[in-house]
Structure 1
Amino acid sequence: MTTHLAHRPRRSCLYMPGANTKAMEKAKTLAADVLLLDLEDSVAPDAKETARAQVAAAVKAGGYGKREVIVRVNALSTPWGGEDIAAAGAAGPDGMLAPKVESGEQVRALDRAMSEAGFAPDATLWVMIETPRAILDIAEIAAAAKGTRLSCFVMGLNDLAKETRARPSAGRAAFHAAMSLAVTAARAEGLTAIDGVYNDIADAEGFRAECEQGLAFGFDGKTLIHPSQIEAANAVFAPAEEEVARARGVIEAFALPENAGKGVIKVDGRMTELLHLEEAKRVVAVSEAIAALGS
């Protein structure tokens, strides 16, 4: 896919258990922007090696079309992490997701491991933000994007809840600070930020409300645990028609000869600055990238 990474749609990022070959085959028909083929949490220790071989075979076989394929590996500190990275690198996915990253040095170590494993130069590194230390050192982790493949933060709020002993609630009040810090750090370094999973598959209304909350916090998309969640995530995290129309209007207004060189102009009665032009261009680029996916 040739879409510029900064505007590549990542509205729906669906976890697929690497031990389940049927699920990975079904993924080829789903409208998810991103498939996260998982070797970590969803795979029992005695199934790790089998899952690794199955994921590598699935990635090599291809057939996922325009979907972004990311392999979630086990941590380098585990018995499986090194071999996971080697197998993923040989298979050639679009990128790799690493769990429980807590420092810039860990990002750099993962980046080196990806290069040694033969990942393509444009393969991206995604990292899970799911521990108290990661939140406290979030700026340092994000800054490690300079000179590495780091592209995306993924919130792991289930793990963060366990580590902090926070009590999950409908409004996620306990995680507001962590969510905001992660988005802010991501934006400071030009990274994508993906919200955590919603655990109650049957609660479609609650899921959509949480997507809307994630959008309000500034997230680019949401991680999903079931295909039934894809449609709502894609709808919520796509720019609305009126938002795209307004953005096009801003771009057109700044392009008029009489507005050349101006830093502030009036568009539809609103004072509009160059920073609004930059955001308008992003909105249009994301909308066009989504249209190119056909969803």
Structure 2
Amino acid sequence: MMERRHDRQFVRTFFTSPTAVEGEDNSAKMLEGAATLRGLQAPDVWVPDNEDATAPSMREEGAENIVEAVAEHGADFPGEIHPRVVWHRDRPATRYQGLQQMLTITDPAGGAAEHIDGFVIPEVGDIDDWKKADEAITWVETENDLEEGGLTMSVIVESGAAELAMGDLREEMGKPSNNLERLFLLVDGEVDYTKDMRAMTPTGELPAWPELRHNTSRGASAAGCIAVDGPYDDIRDVEGYRERMTANRAKGMNGIWSLTPGQVEEANTAPLPPKTGSWLLDLGSREVELEDAGDAQVYDGDHLSLVETPDGYHLTVGNEELDVDEDELREELLDRTAYIPSLDDAVDSMEEFEAAKEAGKGAIAMTRAATLRLDGIEIDIESDRMWDEATYQAAMTPIELFQDVYEHRPDQHEELVELYSEDVVERATAVGN
């Protein structure tokens, strides 16, 4: 993995808003509303969108609106500000327009430049096109007397050429002929990617493109950038949005595009460790969360039954039936259960391993135990997991995400303390340091 050259290790939310709304007395009203978001409704990265979200006839006014809104609200906005400008790998005139937009937005006379963290470049192509975008930003920094390399560059991966270009980044970054070290986010753009690939589905829905998300996450890891998934258009499908984020996190992609403040709040919260731990039970076709009754974890549904027999137990899960003794039942239930640790649990494990390491131990066993209550029958289960340094480092990822959020989003401190308690937050910010 290349060394990251930006402060943030994680970005949970990439929130776009139109820069100019046609037919309104105040065309900047969407910008002004976004600029005043705070707490869990405020994104890690706010993207005043002067490309797809803004009509072509309004983009000149949109660039001016960005300057006014950011000059007024940028100092107090809790996240980073990365406007999206126009660009296209096959259209020199569009690239020139993007350059002009960036020059306008960062003109020191407008008062916004000091609050602009970078630019989002859409529709990039092969690696030479990425270099053109980088060179344009370098030109903007020179023309407006800004620090060279101070503006980051994020790209929207929405073409096959851009997807392949991610494989060239490790070789190209760091060469004296470019400033590609400024790269920050690699963001999937599945809609235009689908168009570029000439892909079709029977219903007209977008393909799932899990390969694109995997490749973007891999490319970001190799180049020291951060991967962000594209927009989830069905803004009412909260459960689908959560499922998408869960699948993404398993690929190392912890951030997602957000289209509404409601999606921002969901995406800001989803990657954080839960407040309380929970046990899951695999029922074959699905997993269910067991109810914590205090003294036992309880399943009270119709997809599993457990009956005591003269020789042991008869277990039915869906269409599967098993006759087992107590030890065999315990093993079967161990295979069917999993535990989701809370932030407090995760910190406990980290602290326990750190203490063991300090005492000279290279590996220790971590025990997880529970009493299951199924159809009124109680069974104790227990499992041991060996922790070594590699396990510890892998388990640090959710803790590091929490620490990154706590460091860069002080506006969320009060909500985090309310969620977890002050003691847990203090321990979580200290562990591993």
Question: Could you state the TM-score of these two structures normalised by the residue count of structure 2?
Answer: 0.60
Asked if the contact 1:167/1:174 (under 8 Å) is kept, the reply is no
Alpha-carbon shift at residue 81 of structure 1 (Å): 1.0
Check 1:206–1:257 CA distance in 2 against 1; reply closer, same or farther (3 A cut).
closer
The within-5 A match list for 1:102-251 is 102-118=125-141, 119-120=146-147, 121-141=149-169, 144-146=172-174, 148-167=181-200, 174-241=208-275, 242=341, 244-251=343-350
Give the match's secondary structure for 1:5: coil
Asked if the contact 2:125/2:165 (under 8 Å) is kept, the reply is yes
Alpha-carbon shift at residue 223 of structure 1 (Å): 0.6
Structure label with greater radius of gyration: 2
Which of 264, 277, 290 does residue 405 from structure 2 map onto? 290
Check 1:175–1:114 CA distance in 2 against 1; reply closer, same or farther (3 A cut).
same
Residue 86 (structure 1) aligned with residue 127 (structure 2): no
Farther off after superposition, 153-162 or 204-213: 204-213
Gaps of 5+ in 1: none
Check 1:260–1:151 CA distance in 2 against 1; reply closer, same or farther (3 A cut).
farther
Asked if the contact 1:104/1:143 (under 8 Å) is kept, the reply is no
Equivalent in the alignment of 1:69:
81
- Supply the distance in 2 between the matched residues of 1:103 and 1:67 (Cα, whole angstroms): 30
- Supply the distance in 2 between the matched residues of 1:171 and 1:220 (Cα, whole angstroms): 24
Give the match's secondary structure for 2:209: helix
Give the match's secondary structure for 1:137: helix
The within-5 A match list for 1:274-289 is 274-289=389-404
Asked if the contact 2:99/2:140 (under 8 Å) is kept, the reply is no
- Supply the distance in 1 between the matched residues of 2:170 and 2:51 (Cα, whole angstroms): 23
Aligned-partner residue type, residue 7 of structure 2:
L
Equivalent in the alignment of 1:256:
355
- Supply the distance in 1 between the matched residues of 2:212 and 2:248 (Cα, whole angstroms): 12
Check 1:129–1:253 CA distance in 2 against 1; reply closer, same or farther (3 A cut).
same
Check 1:261–1:195 CA distance in 2 against 1; reply closer, same or farther (3 A cut).
farther
- Supply the distance in 2 between the matched residues of 1:97 and 1:86 (Cα, whole angstroms): 14
Check 1:132–1:260 CA distance in 2 against 1; reply closer, same or farther (3 A cut).
farther
- Supply the distance in 2 between the matched residues of 1:64 and 1:23 (Cα, whole angstroms): 17
- Supply the distance in 1 between the matched residues of 2:358 and 2:205 (Cα, whole angstroms): 44
Alpha-carbon shift at residue 88 of structure 1 (Å): 3.1
Asked if the contact 2:255/2:267 (under 8 Å) is kept, the reply is yes
Which of 57, 62, 74 does residue 46 from structure 1 map onto? 57
- RMSD value, Cα: 2.8
- Supply the distance in 1 between the matched residues of 2:32 and 2:196 (Cα, whole angstroms): 34
Alpha-carbon shift at residue 272 of structure 1 (Å): 2.2
Residue 22 (structure 1) aligned with residue 29 (structure 2): yes
Check 1:108–1:165 CA distance in 2 against 1; reply closer, same or farther (3 A cut).
closer
Alpha-carbon shift at residue 203 of structure 1 (Å): 2.5
Farther off after superposition, 240-249 or 189-198: 240-249
Aligned-partner residue type, residue 79 of structure 2:
R
Asked if the contact 1:265/1:272 (under 8 Å) is kept, the reply is yes
Check 1:129–1:271 CA distance in 2 against 1; reply closer, same or farther (3 A cut).
same
Equivalent in the alignment of 1:60:
71
Q: Which has the higher contact order (CA 8 A, sep 6+)?
A: 1
Alpha-carbon shift at residue 250 of structure 1 (Å): 4.5
1:172-193 deviation digits (Å, cap 9, x = unpaired): 7641111111111111222111
- Bigger helix fraction: 1
Aligned-partner residue type, residue 136 of structure 2:
A
Aligned-partner residue type, residue 232 of structure 2:
Y
Identity rate, percent: 27
Aligned-partner residue type, residue 23 of structure 1:
M
Asked if the contact 2:87/2:123 (under 8 Å) is kept, the reply is yes
